[in-house]
Amino acid sequence: MASKIKSLLTLLIGLTFIGPIAVAETFVTIGTGGVTGVYYPAGSGICKLINSDLPSHDIRCAIESTGGSVYNLEQLAIGGLDLAIAQSDVLFHTYHGTGDSGDTPGHTTLRALFAIYPEPFTVVARADSGINSFEDLKGKRVNIGNPGSGQRDTMEVIMQAYGWTVSDFSLVSELRSAEQSKALCDDKIDAMVFTVGHPSRSIKEATMTCQTKIVSVTGPIIDELIEKNDYYRKATIPGGMYDNNPTDITTFGVGAIFVSTTNLPNQTVYGIVKSLFDNFAAFNALHPAFSNLTKAQMIDENLPAPLHEGARKYFMEKGLL
Ligand code: GLU
């Protein structure tokens, strides 16, 4: 009996201590991408920084590995995720309900917090494949990306611009980003595509494990895409960043954007943004793709979705907007 009373007392004391803290904490989950991409380690670093500031905002952050941008934004819109990283082009189309899937209703609750880093559209081909440019992909075995990924979306846009369909390739695969470098080096495919920040582990694997080259994505069709769409930019993958790829490669790209919705309270978003921007040196050190970022590059009113009011409040307070 005494021990029962004792354990009841212990439980009550425990509840008194745990109770108020547990109630006050807000849990947020960030949707990222495949584990060998940049979204995943970037999201993990962002969570680490948020969690290290827990006493100031009581926000506890976790990440989820996902299929990529399209999946992330769909999940955000239905409340399956609180925050996510997504490509600027995919965000634009999901917000406005435009793009390949036609006239879907836009997800107008989506909100941008800030831009992160550029994501060049990256094509890696086997050295023995005879592929030297994007045009050379015709007739080859190509991994066009899993449905739900940003690279699949970007690839479909380029294919459409070139007037290609999947039957223009001798084989099409839909592997996820984390699976494609192995398929390339196992000679299951001739080329892989990935819209990704650099350096990325996936591209490192593909260039270290076997003889491959990063090929350029240029020409009048690409120029026209860039000219017509604000979210596309010319992009360069620096020579020497990856094994056996000593020269700069020209391609085009999008931006990675940190996204949420109007459902995440302003106060929560304010706390998250403050943790990251008040500790900017630590933020820069989270991933090599972050190392040269400046606040000015990241804070932009003209992102593909409206700025979240919680982020705006912080940026205004700091005179950054
Ligand atoms: N841009 C890719 C996507 O939207 C993901 C890149 C990454 O995992 O870093 O699916």
Taking only the tens place, the pLDDT of each residue in 35-88 is: 999 999 999 999 999 999 999 999 999 999 999 999 999 999 999 999 999 999
- Alpha-carbon distance of 301 to 41, in angstroms, equals 26
Measured in degrees and rounded to the nearest 5, phi and psi for residue 232 equal -100, 145
Q: Residue 102: what pLDDT?
A: 61
**What are the residue ranges of helices labelled H in 1-96?**
2-24, 39-52, 54-57, 69-78, 88-96
- 7-24 pLDDT per residue, tens: 444 444 444 455 444 557
Pocket flag, ligand 1, residue 148 (CB < 6 Å): no
Q: Buried (b) or exposed (e) across 135-157, using 16+ Cβ within 10 A?
A: ebbeebbbbbbbebbbbbbbbbb
Ligand 1 centroid – CA 172 distance (Å): 19
Kindly give the number of the ligand 1 atom that is closest to the alpha carbon of 197.
Answer: 9
- The answer to whether residues 83 and 264 touch, using CB atoms and an 8 Å cutoff, is yes
Can you say how many angstroms the Cα of residue 203 is from the centroid of all Cα atoms in its chain? Answer: 15
CA 71 to ligand 1: nearest atom: 10
The pLDDT value given to residue 172: 98
Residue 100 has a pLDDT of 66
DSSP state of 104: P
Is 119 near ligand 1, meaning CB less than 6 Å away?
yes
Q: With a cut of 70, which residues of the chain have pLDDT below it? A: 1-23, 100-103
Contact (CB, 8 A) for 296 and 205: no
- Ligand 1 within 6 A of CB of 75: no
Report whether residue 260 contacts ligand 1, using a CB cutoff of 6 Å: no
196 lines ligand 1 (CB under 6 A): yes
Cβ 258 under 6 angstroms from ligand 1: no
* 33 CA: nearest ligand 1 atom: 8
Query: Could you tell me the domains of the chain?
Result: 26-118+256-318 (3.40.190.10), 120-254 (3.40.190.10)
Which of 36, 117, 195, 259 maximizes ligand 1 atoms within 8 Å of its Cβ, making it the mutation to test the pocket? 195
- Indicate whether residue 150 lines ligand 1 (CB < 6 A): yes
CA distances, 68 to each of 16, 62, 87, 203, 270 (Å): 42, 16, 9, 16, 25
State in Å: Cα 56 to ligand 1 middle. 31
Shortest CA distance to 148 belongs to which of 215, 195, 217?
195
| Atom of ligand 1 at shortest range from CA of 149 | 10
Cβ count near 277 (within 10 Å):
18
Question: Any idea of the CA torsion for 54, 117, 212, 207, to the nearest 10 degrees?
Answer: -30
**32: CA distance to ligand 1 center in Å?**
8
Helix axes of 177-185 and 201-209: crossing angle, nearest 10 degrees: 10
Taking the CA of residue 42 as reference, the ligand 1 atom at the shortest distance is 9
Residues contacting residue 166 through CB under 8 Å, at least 6 positions apart: 144, 159, 172
**Closest Cα to atom 3 of ligand 1:** 150
pTM metric for this prediction: 0.92
Q: What pLDDT, on a 0 to 100 scale, did the predictor assign at position 11?
A: 47
Say which amino acid occupies 268: T
Question: Which of 81, 119, 181 maximizes ligand 1 atoms within 8 Å of its Cβ, making it the mutation to test the pocket?
Answer: 119
